[in-house]
């Protein structure tokens, strides 16, 4: 499409001529003629002057560029929309592959696509336009909504519910048994049956090799719009709010509640039975051991206020300085 057509499709104004043909999106340094690039982080503004792109997506703070500018109030969002428009979509044929094993009592929408070696259990439902890639396993009594994408090797256990537009990356496990054991008098660990359910609401994405456990009673729930990275563990009975972001290797222990819009950076975690307030931020490798009020920003283990943590880190690094100075004076 032409640059003018792309700007119109994106709902943006265009500074400059719009006749150039645009074929793909590329980074500032890698872009060439026919590409549209973007600037969403001022750290990379120094590369704008040398870009060879045919256009750049930027906000009003960019005063000039060697190419036309697509003006956007949210350049990173517009970049994502342009990428979707310019990337050829892989067409997947509707229907059930002859090598799939689908129980006779399962209900598969006519527009859904079920790949080879997929197994679907009794009484399960797969919604319109949902794509299930090879080797996925869907247990009995599962409900999957419309426009979902279930990638290879995913396991969706019995009685799990997925809303619409859910994406499960390769080898994610939804509805695995929670880690629940009762200690006997003789010291043996007696397994508690994990018979609760897991509910994944609309527009959730779950990364590769992540696991979301079912509880013994009640439910584990991930609310709409939340995004979960690879290698994340969500334990039994956890409640994840709307638009929550959990980066790689986060671990959330049982019966904890993460309220709307909270963010856990990589390898952060929370103990069980705590509440993390709306909009809170937990920085990388931090551990939450107590309730956090809404809007908290915490670091460290145990996690405490981010500003105080920064001060403590500076103080910690200074602890040895008086001793080193005293040794220096003695030598003189």
Q: Give the number of residues written for the chain.
A: 332
Check if the beta carbon of residue 281 is closer than 8 Å to that of residue 296: yes
Distance between CA atoms of residues 70 and 236, nearest Å: 46
Check if the beta carbon of residue 70 is closer than 8 Å to that of residue 12: yes
Distance between CA atoms of residues 236 and 220, nearest Å: 6
- Report residue 8: phi and psi, to 5°: -65, -45
Q: What sign for the dihedral angle of Cα 161, 163, 165, 166?
A: negative
Residue of 47, 189, 209, 236 marked catalytic: 236
Strands (E) located in 59-196:
69-71, 95-96, 101-102, 107-108, 113-114, 119-120, 125-126, 131-132, 137-138, 143-144, 149-150, 155-156, 161-162, 167-168, 173-177, 181-183, 189-191
Check if the beta carbon of residue 292 is closer than 8 Å to that of residue 258: no
Check if the beta carbon of residue 157 is closer than 8 Å to that of residue 137: no
Q: Which positions ≥6 away from 232 have C-beta within 8 Å?
A: 206, 207, 210, 211, 246, 248, 249, 250, 251
236 catalytic? Reply is: yes
Q: Inter-axis angle of helices 3-10 and 75-86, to 10 degrees? A: 120
According to the 3-state scheme, what is the secondary structure of 228-282?
ECCCCEECCCCEECCCCEECCCCEECCCCEECCCCEECCCCEECCCCEECCCCEE
- Any idea which residues carry the catalytic annotation? 236
């Amino acid at each position: 499409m032409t640059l003018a057509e792309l700007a119109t499709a994106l709902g943006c104004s265009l500074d400059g001529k719009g006749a150039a043909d645009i074929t793909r999106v590329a980074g500032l340094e890698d872009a060439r003629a026919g590409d549209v690039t973007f600037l969403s982080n001022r750290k990379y503004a120094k590369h704008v002057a040398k870009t060879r792109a045919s256009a750049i997506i930027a906000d009003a703070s960019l005063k000039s560029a060697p190419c036309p500018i697509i003006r956007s109030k949210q350049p990173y969002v517009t970049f994502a929309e342009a990428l979707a428009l310019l990337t050829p979509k892989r067409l997947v044929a509707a229907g059930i592959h002859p090598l799939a094993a689908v129980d006779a009592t399962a209900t598969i929408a006519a527009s859904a696509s079920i790949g080879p070696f997929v197994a679907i259990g009794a009484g399960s439902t797969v919604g319109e336009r949902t794509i299930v890639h090879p080797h996925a396993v869907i247990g009995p009594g599962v409900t999957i909504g419309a426009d979902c994408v279930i990638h290879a090797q995913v396991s969706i256990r019995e009685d799990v519910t997925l809303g619409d537009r859910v994406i499960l990356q390769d080898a994610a496990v939804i509805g695995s048994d929670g880690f629940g054991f009762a200690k006997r008098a003789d010291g043996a660990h007696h397994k508690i049956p994990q018979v609760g359910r897991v509910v994944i609401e609309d527009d959730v994405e779950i990364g590769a090799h992540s696991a979301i456990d079912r509880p013994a009673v009640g439910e584990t729930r991930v609310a709409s719009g939340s995004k979960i990275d690879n290698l994340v563990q969500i334990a039994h009975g956890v409640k994840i709010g709307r638009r929550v972001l959990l980066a790689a290797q986060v671990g959330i222990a049982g019966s904890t509640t993460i309220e709307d819009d909270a963010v856990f950076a990589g390898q952060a975690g929370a103990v069980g039975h705590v509440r993390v307030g709306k909009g809170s931020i937990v920085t990388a490798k931090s551990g939450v051991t107590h309730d956090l009020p809404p809007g908290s920003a915490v670091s460290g283990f145990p996690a405490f206020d981010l500003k105080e943590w920064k001060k403590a880190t500076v103080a910690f690094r200074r602890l040895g300085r008086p001793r080193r100075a005293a040794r220096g004076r003695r030598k003189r």
